[in-house]
Amino acid sequence: MHHTIKDPIPSLFTFNDSEKKFKDLMGVSVPLAEIKIAGTKFLQTGPILITHWGLSGPAVIKLSAWAAEHLYQARYEFTVLVSWIGSVKEEEIRALLENHKKIKGKQQVTSNPMFSLPQRLWQRLCGLAEVEESKVWSELSQKKINKLIEFVIRSPFTIKGKTTFKEEFVTCGGVELTDINLETMESKHVKNVFFAGEVLNIDGETGGFNFQSAWTTAFLAAKAITSS
């Protein structure tokens, strides 16, 4: 009897930004962002790192794992929306900026980052919102505030391809677990055939889960083999 094998595809990878519009900010990171694949329910929160090829960091890599099949079917061409301040509602940030405009009206916008964002990232977001360097908060029109909000919580990135160096961490897919005795990792169909690690249809988030799975399944298989 044949084993059921789910087609293996890449998982745990970074995103290649085709426009490279943030390339000069490589190395800049935020500790708590939200990244979403536009038009889907796939989203993750956590640290994001800007790289010279696009976007990386735990939030990006976790998103690639949960959306691995969707991204494979999309041929790795998609749009992500990044909120640099995490899961904050638009109404909250609007109220905060309007209040800031009232109490800090004479403060220059671009040179005083809000939301604890890195200076260079804040300046870029202001630039995308067409906020002039000389502008102070009291001079900022509602239109400019709206654009600034948009780039703070919904910065769009056109992604074309996985990590430039093809360094995906794990494989999604492999031999289905329903074909395996999970206490011994022995095949249910062929006696004395054991499976472990990447050949199994097991993959998890970043953080050591895939290493643990490989070690544990190998241990169980080795224990069963030596005991037989």
CA distance linking residue 166 with residue 227, whole number of Å:
40
Tokens for 75, please give them.
């041929």
- pLDDT beyond 80 at 32: yes
Query: Which residue reads 């794992």 in tokens?
Result: 65
Using alpha carbons only, what angle is made at residue 154 by residues 152 and 160, rounded to the nearest 5 degrees? 125
CA distance linking residue 155 with residue 178, whole number of Å:
42
Query: Which residue reads 């009206």 in tokens?
Result: 105
Mean pLDDT of 59-84: 94
Averaged pLDDT of the chain: 91
Least confidently predicted of 51-55, 58-62, 137-141, 161-165: 161-165
- pLDDT beyond 70 at 91: yes
- pLDDT beyond 90 at 163: no
Using alpha carbons only, what angle is made at residue 24 by residues 22 and 25, rounded to the nearest 5 degrees? 70
Give the pLDDT score at 167.
60
Sign for the CA dihedral angle at 153, 149, 52, 108 comes to negative
Give the pLDDT score at 81.
98
Least confidently predicted of 43-47, 58-62, 131-135, 167-171: 167-171
Mean pLDDT of 99-117: 94
DSSP state, 161?
E
Q: How confident is the model at residue 168 (pLDDT cuts 50, 70, 90)?
A: low
- pLDDT beyond 60 at 20: yes
- pLDDT beyond 80 at 169: no
Say how many C-beta atoms besides its own lie within 10 A of residue 215's C-beta: 13
Give the pLDDT score at 165.
56
pLDDT higher at 17 or 1: 17
* pLDDT tens digits, one per residue of 118-131: 999 999 999 999 99
pLDDT higher at 83 or 218: 83
- pLDDT beyond 90 at 205: no
Mean pLDDT of 90-110: 94
- pLDDT beyond 90 at 93: yes
Q: What is the DSSP string of 70-90?
A: HHHHTTTEEEEEEETT-S--H
Give the pLDDT score at 164.
58
